[in-house]
Amino acid sequence: MAAPLPPVSARDYIDAIAQHVSSVCVITTEVDGQRFGLTATAVSSVSADPPRLLVCINKSGLTHDKVLAAGHFCVNVLAEHQDVVAMVFAGMGGARDDRFATGEWTTLKTGAPALVGAAAVFDCVLGETSGQATHTVLFGDVVATSHVKGQDTLLYGVRRFRQMRKVFAGLDDGADDYL
């Protein structure tokens, strides 16, 4: 049996993963009438049947413990024009108490804040969790969704916000949505 290979340094990993482009999301929850949220890019679909997604949240942040306590959360996939919301929830816009003053908020089924005008919103009940070093992977069972058809999502990669470059394939069937 071969000896285990050592991992790359954290610095090398961070420099390489910074090249990965992801959609920008704001993860929100509500506990005892108080709202909490953070900006995240580590979000992914797990399955469609049952509808489940995963979110990776740093254990050191306040919202981490609040999501666990609440047992529910919303994944708000930001639209291109919502970069200010992303910055505020990433802590670049003042105190945590002021975060929900940016954007218009509503709720779906769980009571977690849902951003009006977001490209997509996934309202989730917390299913399972998995502790992974500095982060917890949250598996959310999706109980409600909303989306704005045709809304392009805000992206983050190479350490800055990005927008999609629109490419049209010239299909003859008149389809306006592509996978």
| pLDDT given at position 97 | 62
The 10 Å CB-count burial string (b at 16+, else e) for 118-133 is bbbbbbbbbbeeeeee
Q: How confident is the model at residue 177 (pLDDT cuts 50, 70, 90)?
A: low
State the architecture of 23-157 in CATH terms.
Answer: Roll (2.30)
**Mean predicted confidence (pLDDT) in 41-57:** 97
Give the chain's mean pLDDT.
91
Average pLDDT over residues 94-111: 87
Distance, in Å, from the CA atom of 56 to the CA atom of 54, rounded to the nearest integer, reads: 7
* Amino acid sitting at position 64: H
pTM across the whole model: 0.88
Give me the residue spans of the domains in the chain. 23-157
Going by C-beta distance under 8 Å and a sequence separation of 6 or more, which residues neighbour residue 78?
A: 23, 24, 25, 26, 85, 86, 115, 118, 119, 153, 154
- Residue 88 pLDDT class (50, 70, 90 cuts): very high
Q: What average pLDDT score do residues 119-138 get? A: 97
For residue 30, pLDDT over 70 is answered with yes
Q: How far apart are CA 98 and CA 83, in angstroms?
A: 16
pLDDT band at 176 (very low <50, low <70, confident <90, very high): low
Phi, psi of 173 (to 5 degrees): -85, 0
